[in-house]
Amino acid sequence: MISKKLETAINDQINAELYSAYLYLSMAAYFESKNLSGFAGWMRAQAQEEQAHAMKFFDYLNERGGRVNLKDIKASQSEWESPLDVFKNVYSHEQKVSSLINDLVNMAIKENDHATNNFLQWYVAEQVEEEASADEVVNKLELVGDSGNALFMLDRELGQRTFTAALESEE
């Protein structure tokens, strides 16, 4: 059985993951409005990944005898100044999510909940990847600068990303 304190914190994390999906869909809409379908596709894949993260927490909480309590998802930003501005926001957002995951790990350790600590280690590793992925695009966009041709090429590259749900054995 999971403690009420961890149950509440995981419910908050479910909300944060769903907000992340909502934010990335908003970013996808922004890119679609700029005719950058590759960037939009990258964001759609990211949104799907965040929804999967939320469901993983959802399932875990149920497995541990907790109660999922879905909350309102706050509105997200919908306008940015440039693709670089968007990805700087992605990077910053992923750093915030990493901080939230770290807080959950610290809480699980404090509560001596080894099962939750073990469960959260997947997210710790995932956040390293999330931050690195966003930072890589930020760096590429900084290199691209105002070059329309390079932006077009990067749009095509980012459009290659697809979401593939992780297999149970990989989790």
Closest CA relative to residue 14, chosen from 40, 44, 52, 65: 52
Q: What is the pLDDT of residue 44?
A: 97
Q: What is the pLDDT of residue 168?
A: 44
Q: What is the pLDDT of residue 146?
A: 85
Cα pseudo-dihedral 151, 125, 80, 39, rounded to 10: 30
Alpha-carbon distance of 164 to 151, in angstroms, equals 26
Encode pLDDT of 32-57 as tens digits. 999 999 999 999 999 999 999 999 99
Whether this prediction's pTM lies above 0.85 is answered by yes
Q: Mean pLDDT, the chain, as a whole number? A: 95
- Whether 135 and 93 have beta carbons less than 8 Å apart is answered as no
Fold of 4-71+80-164: Ferritin (1.20.1260)
Cα first-last separation, the chain:
21
What does the DSSP assignment read for 61-101? HHHTT------PPPP-----SSHHHHHHHHHHHHHHHHHHH
Low-confidence ranges of the chain (pLDDT < 70): 166-171
Boundaries of every domain in the chain: 4-71+80-164
